[in-house]
Amino acid sequence: MRYVGPGLLVTVGFIDPGNWASNVAAGAQYGYSLLWMVSLSTLMLILLQHNAAHLGIATGLCLSEAANRYLPVWLSRVLLSTAVLAAVSTAMAEILGAAIALRMLFHIPLAAGATLTTALVFYLLITNGYRRIEKLIMGFVSLIGLSFLIEILLVPVDWNASLVAWVTPVIPEGSMPIVMSVLGAVVMPHNLFLHSEIIQSRKWNLEDEAVIARQMDYEFLDTLASMLIGWAINSAMILLAAATFFQAGTQVTDLEQAERLLRPIAGDWAAWIFALALLFAGVASSVTAGMAGGSIYAGMFGKEYDIQNRQTLWGCGITLLGALGVIFLISDPFKGLIYSQMLLSIQLPITILLQIWLTSSRRVMGSHVNGRLELFALSVVAAGVIVLNVMLLFS
């Protein structure tokens, strides 16, 4: 049980409000048909997160630190700058989601709710260590999962159609933006940086191969279990939207509308639980986005994540305050959430290719370098993400 934690910190990043918008849109517009994308994305995610964690375990460096050490400075700065922008895009969706939830629950204006959320998240980051934040996040993930379990029990889900849709790839006409937003909402660039940072922060003995081997074994179990929890919660979002909005022929254009429409279909309790779970998801995932931004920015200068150092603090500030600034500028929050996830999927190939290059280098990984099978699987994932991005561009 001492090894549980890093995977769940990553999991909360892909059950954030951006996922909510993408999954509600997918279920409301296309019913159960895009459930396969959650399954495919989760398989990709397990492989990528496991690989990122191996980098941290084998080298004692996070992805950002390794890029700074083994790439030319100018190239690492360019690549990592795009990752910082991805973290800002992620944080924007997460802070915005929490602000939307506050408006649903307490009628707080969106700008005020976003400001309150940002202040709370910054406070949590500057006052908590890794282990305390891990416990906080695990609590949030448990509450979100319980909320959706209750939601699913309140609506009439077509389980036969769901089982088929989970394993049958279908891309309905006009659905590519939603398909890509679902991909970007599950396989997220900042989570790859975050996992490599968290896993190596435990400071084990890098000279002892037995210690490293044990870390890798337990890391895989933690990652696998955590990603499957995320798969279940993301699937539940599409199931809920498909069983309610799609069946009723109702188009959903924002999360507040989704909450209002749930009331006559599933009752006041369902709508209240929906809003409360969104608040939990927004706050928890904003914390992990801030940590990721701090880790990426500090790594650009060869520093490890430490909220007491200037680079980490600047990274957290750029991520959270940059996200808050974008929120003040957008006019349509729901579209902002969906497009933020699309932007993540566009940056994702850069992070994946960087990670594959580092973990396939014997100079970086030593004896823990990617084997042929692992390199092939990672290359297939990278190719798949790039092809989907090209399809999005042409659509």
Output DSSP code: residue 72. -
Question: Cα dist. 232→148, 225, 236, 238, 269 in Å?
Answer: 9, 11, 6, 10, 21
Q: Each residue of 223-262: pLDDT tens digit?
A: 888 888 889 888 988 998 898 888 878 777 666 666 665 5
What is the DSSP annotation of 205-251? -TT-HHHHHHHHHHHHHHHHHHHHHHHHHHHHHHHHHIIIIITTT--
CA dist., res. 355 & res. 59, Å (int): 13
Task: Tell me if 193 is assigned to some domain.
Answer: yes
Other CB atoms within a 10 A radius of the CB of residue 331 amount to: 6
Share of the chain above pLDDT 90, in %: 32
Task: Tell me if 222 is assigned to some domain.
Answer: yes
Q: Is 267 left (phi over 0), alpha (psi -120 to 50) or beta?
A: left
Task: Tell me if 16 is assigned to some domain.
Answer: yes
Which of these, 36, 329, 4, lies nearest to 135 by C-alpha position? 4
Name the domain count of the chain. Answer: 1
Query: Do the beta carbons of residue 230 and residue 11 sit within 8 Å?
Result: yes
Query: Do the beta carbons of residue 384 and residue 44 sit within 8 Å?
Result: yes
Host domain of residue 359: 6-394
Predicted pLDDT at 367: 87
Predicted pLDDT at 22: 79
Predicted pLDDT at 6: 72
Predicted pLDDT at 360: 95
Q: Which two tokens stand for residue 272?
A: 């209240």
List, for the chain, all residue ranges whose pLDDT scores fall below the cut of 50.
none
Question: Cα dist. 269→21, 25, 377 in Å?
Answer: 20, 22, 44
Task: Tell me if 357 is assigned to some domain.
Answer: yes
CA dist., res. 235 & res. 159, Å (int): 12
CATH number at residue 153: 1.20.1740.10
Task: Tell me if 389 is assigned to some domain.
Answer: yes
Dihedral (CA of 120, 229, 351, 216) sign: positive
Residue with tokens 């979100």: 144
Task: Tell me if 1 is assigned to some domain.
Answer: no
